[in-house]
Amino acid sequence: MDKRLDQNIQVLEGEFPQWLVRATGVTKAFGEGHTKIPVLKGVDLEVARGEVLLLVGPSGSGKTTLLSVIAGILDADDGDVTILGETIRDFSPAEKTRFRRDHLGFIFQQYHLLPTLTAAENAAVPLLIRGVSKQEAVARAEEVLRTVGMGGRLAALPTKLSGGEQQRVAIARALVGEPQLLLCDEPTASLDAETGHRIVGQIRENGKKPDRAVIIVTHDSRIFEFGDRIVHMDDGQVHQIQQGPEAFN
């Protein structure tokens, strides 16, 4: 092929890669000196555009740490994370915050709801920080809360909600901003089987768009069917990648 054309194609592929997330050689340790514990030991992972990737592995294997590094909440010690063509390490703290606000949704394992805000206000936060008016943000949050079965608890404070209800508020908060990359840490841990199944279906539907992707950390084998690929993590490394049901269609 004409060399100039070939170079242009490489540039184009660089600008529009097939993957939405790429982690290469990511390492992370906690602590200092001889109490230092390596938690991520050189993780390589790519998530394609339009992909729903499930991340499974034993407790303590580094799944939450990996999600936090991908989200830019924790800094990797070494290696790179690229999302939508942007290398997160190159960002200043303010740029990271802005990038998260504009492109990322995160369902935290511990929910992290704000205790003084109602369910509807909590779910509205991603829109409020983007500058959407309170009235519109809360109205949109209420709509999403209804879709996760929380329409009857819109004005409740988190302390008045059960674990599963808090988890659904956290899910609504992650979905409301229609993030390009949705990171979900054990999103069904507090939900009954039927609710969990329905909600992960909703998460999948939201993420199955060409310019989006979803990573779901889970122990729950009942939701494995929602993954395009299942990635096994063990002792800080990605060991095995298994094609999900879609690969066989």
Q: Residue 10 or residue 110: which is nearer to ligand ATP going by CB?
A: 110
DSSP 90: G
Give the footprint of ligand ATP on residues 39-58 (CB under 6 A): 39, 57
Alpha-carbon Rg for the chain, nearest whole angstrom, is 19
Q: Residue 24 or residue 109: which is nearer to Mg ion going by CB?
A: 109
Contact letters for Mg ion, residues 41-70 (x by CB under 5 A): -----------------------x------
Q: Which helix (H) or strand (E) holds 157?
A: none
**Segment contacting ligand ATP (CB under 6 A): 59-67, 92-100, 151-159, 197-205?**
59-67
Query: How far is 108 from 149, CA to CA, in rounded Å?
Result: 19
Q: Is 61 in the site for ligand ATP (CB under 6 A)?
A: yes
What DSSP assignment string belongs to 22-44?
A: EEEEEEEEESSGGG-EEEEEEEE
Q: How far is the CB of 249 from ligand ATP (least distance, A)?
A: 30
- Residue pair 52/212 in contact (Cβ under 8 Å)? The answer is no
Q: Please give the backbone phi and psi of residue 28, each rounded to the nearest 5 degrees, phi first.
A: -155, 130
Query: How far is 68 from 16, CA to CA, in rounded Å?
Result: 25
Q: Is 62 in the site for ligand ATP (CB under 6 A)?
A: yes
Query: How far is 20 from 10, CA to CA, in rounded Å?
Result: 17
Q: Is 218 in the site for Mg ion (CB under 5 A)?
A: no
Q: Residue 63 or residue 173: which is nearer to ligand ATP going by CB?
A: 63
| Number of neighbouring beta carbons within 10 Å of residue 161 | 19
Q: How far is the CB of 22 from ligand ATP (least distance, A)?
A: 20
Q: How far is CA 127 from CA 39, 97, 103, 138, in A?
A: 33, 14, 12, 9
Q: Residue 55 or residue 119: which is nearer to Mg ion going by CB?
A: 55
Q: Residue 138 or residue 174: which is nearer to ligand ATP going by CB?
A: 174
**Residue 60 contacts which entry, Mg ion, ligand ATP, none (Cβ below 5-8 A, type-dependent):** ligand ATP
Q: How far is the CB of 9 from Mg ion (least distance, A)?
A: 41
> What are 118's two structure tokens?
């109602």
Q: Where does this chain bind Mg ion (CB under 5 A)?
A: 64, 109
Q: Where does this chain bind ligand ATP (CB under 6 A)?
A: 30, 39, 57, 59-65, 109
